[in-house]
Amino acid sequence: MKHKLSIEEQTGEKRNRKRERERERALHACLAAASMMCKGKGKAADNEYSTRVDSTSKHEPPALPLLVIISTIVDASALAWSGGSRLSFPVNQRDCNMMRRSSSRRTSSGVLPAAATASAGNKAAAKEQEKIDSFFAQYADKNEESCIGPEGIEALCQDLGLAPTDIQILLLAWKLQASRQGYFSLEEWRRGLKAMRVDSLEKLKKALPGLQQEVANLYTFKEFYTFAFQYCLTEPRQKTLDLETACQMLELVLAPRPHLTNFIEFLQDQTEYKAMNLDQWTAFLRFCEEIKPDLSNYDENQAWPLLLDNFVEWARSRRTC
């Protein structure tokens, strides 16, 4: 029994020594191949490959990344330690060059498309701005090329088939966030038309009706309504609108809301007020949204401007007559 165990032990030791030699050969092969790739050994095979590459490309393939080399060595080592008898690893320069080409393709597919996409996006944006600027130039003031003045806006209205007093023109000014009444700067034009995705007259014609739908939302309409007041302020420190301008703007932006006709008639009939401020302007919009046509739910004790108290008193007195 002792002699039999000794034979088994000897057989196991031989098997272990054989595996150890296989591991060492695998590691030597891995290191030799890595050395060839890193130091550029095997010039004869490399020249053969270079001649073949030069016939199709002027660029030398990039060197295999160190991470790929290490990863391959680790994989081969693991295979050897697992007792595998066959190793698939490049042991000549031609195979190394093939791995370089494969690595180059992987690198290109992972990095270059993103850069190419960004470059294509920049080109598209530049082309879009060029079209917007060209559209702007058609109406720009001859004496001030960075601005569309009243004459240019009038020409634009004619091309759009709209009157200068059409609410769509005011909506366009709101979308551009124009800072001066009757003027569109180049920066405002670029910003607004880019947001609208418009770069031509035909596209602008199609986009304008959509602005009316956009302000159908009460929250958005409040922004537009406030802009309409501020857009009419033509002086640096101006805080109020004269009643004539205020009435024209109210008719333009609020029609056909209830109370509007009577309120405009009241403003034209009374003599106490000569102008309207922003607080009165915004309060009247809330008045139209909250107060019933018969004024039955109007409470003078609430925080309404005195202008509206006077209007309600005026309207009620007319009904009792």
pLDDT at 46: 46
Taking alpha carbons only, the member of 294, 290, 315 closest to residue 304 is 290
Give the bridge partners for 242, in sequence order. 275
**Percentage of residues of the chain with pLDDT beyond 90:** 57
Q: How many residues does the chain have?
A: 321
Average the pLDDT over each of 88-102, 251-265, 295-309 and give the range with the smallest value: 88-102
Question: Where does the pLDDT of residue 45 fall: very low under 50, low under 70, confident under 90, or very high at 90 and above?
Answer: very low
Question: Where does the pLDDT of residue 9 fall: very low under 50, low under 70, confident under 90, or very high at 90 and above?
Answer: low
Domains of the chain and any CATH numbers: 2-128 (no CATH), 138-214 (1.10.238.10), 216-321 (1.10.238.200)
- Contact by Cβ (8 Å): 32, 91: yes
Question: Where does the pLDDT of residue 81 fall: very low under 50, low under 70, confident under 90, or very high at 90 and above?
Answer: very low
Taking alpha carbons only, the member of 207, 212, 180, 206 closest to residue 192 is 207
pLDDT at 17: 73
Q: Residue 16 pLDDT > 90, yes or no?
A: no
Question: Tens of pLDDT along 276-313?
Answer: 999 999 999 999 999 999 999 999 999 999 999 999 99
Q: Which residues contact 49 (CB under 8 A, 6 or more apart)?
A: 93, 94, 97
Question: Tens of pLDDT along 173-185?
Answer: 999 999 999 999 9
Q: What is the mean pLDDT of residues 142-169?
A: 95
Better-scored residue on pLDDT, 118 or 159: 159
Question: Tens of pLDDT along 110-126?
Answer: 545 656 666 777 888 88
Q: Residue 133 pLDDT > 60, yes or no?
A: yes
pLDDT at 33: 60
Q: Rounded distance, CA 11 to CA 19, Å? A: 12
The pLDDT mean for the chain works out to: 80
Q: Which residues contact 52 (CB under 8 A, 6 or more apart)?
A: none
pLDDT at 71: 52
- The neighbour count for residue 4, using CB atoms within 10 Å, is 8
pLDDT at 310: 97
- 87 CB-contact burial (10 Å; exposed 0-12 / middle 13-18 / buried 19+): middle
Q: Rounded distance, CA 46 to CA 52, Å? A: 10
Better-scored residue on pLDDT, 25 or 309: 309
- For the chain, where are the E strands, in sequence order? 147-148, 184-185, 240-242, 275-277
Q: Rounded distance, CA 137 to CA 151, Å? A: 13
Q: Residue 269 pLDDT > 90, yes or no?
A: yes
Average the pLDDT over each of 16-20, 52-56, 303-307 and give the range with the smallest value: 52-56
Better-scored residue on pLDDT, 321 or 133: 133
Question: Tens of pLDDT along 212-238?
Answer: 999 999 999 999 999 999 999 999 899
Q: Residue 74 pLDDT > 50, yes or no?
A: no
Average the pLDDT over each of 1-10, 183-192, 219-228 and give the range with the smallest value: 1-10
pLDDT at 120: 72
Q: Residue 49 pLDDT > 50, yes or no?
A: no
